[in-house]
């Protein structure tokens, strides 16, 4: 499948759940999440190990985890987006967990509108 066909197939999937003006509010955050997920992949296991060792959350833990990740952000979820997609029966639960655990600053990045739109596609809110 060429890129153009793939993009149109994604648009076809969104048409049932979203209004056209909402597409960007879903596609852009997922694009950013996927990119962040890929950037952190090389250090993911080291971050998980450090998070388990440190236990509690807070500024001091953030310092250690960002240092281990080599970035200003990190991922403490054992899941990644590929694993979430691979578990079709639990996508909603895993995505919510991924969003809550993985990105301490994601609420700042994506805000409540993204969460509300995601609930719609996951079937947890009325369309």
Quick: pLDDT tens for 57-95.
Answer: 665 788 888 899 998 888 888 888 888 888 878 877 777
In this structure, the number of other CB atoms found within 10 A of the CB of residue 89 comes to 7
Is the pLDDT at 28 greater than 90? The verdict is no
Containing structural domain, residue 88: 3-122
* pTM exceeds cut of 0.85: no
Burial class (CB in 10 A: 0-12, 13-18, 19+), 47: buried
Q: Which residue has the tokens 């979430």?
A: 84
57 or 48: which leads in pLDDT: 48
CA dihedral 83, 84, 89, 90 (to 10 degrees): 120
Confirm whether 127 is domain-assigned: no
* Total domains present in the chain: 1
């Amino acid at each position: 499948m060429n890129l153009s066909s793939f993009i149109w197939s994604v648009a076809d999937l969104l048409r049932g759940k979203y209004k056209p003006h909402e597409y960007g509010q879903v596609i852009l955050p997922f694009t950013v999440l996927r990119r962040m997920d890929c950037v952190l992949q090389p250090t993911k296991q080291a971050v998980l190990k450090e998070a388990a060792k440190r236990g509690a959350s807070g500024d001091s833990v953030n310092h250690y985890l960002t240092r281990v990740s080599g970035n200003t952000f990190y991922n403490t979820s054992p899941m990644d987006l590929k694993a979430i997609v691979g578990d079709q029966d639990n996508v909603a639960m895993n995505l919510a967990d991924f969003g809550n655990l993985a990105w301490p600053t994601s609420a700042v990045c994506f805000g409540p509108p993204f969460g509300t739109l995601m609930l719609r596609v996951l079937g947890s809110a009325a369309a």
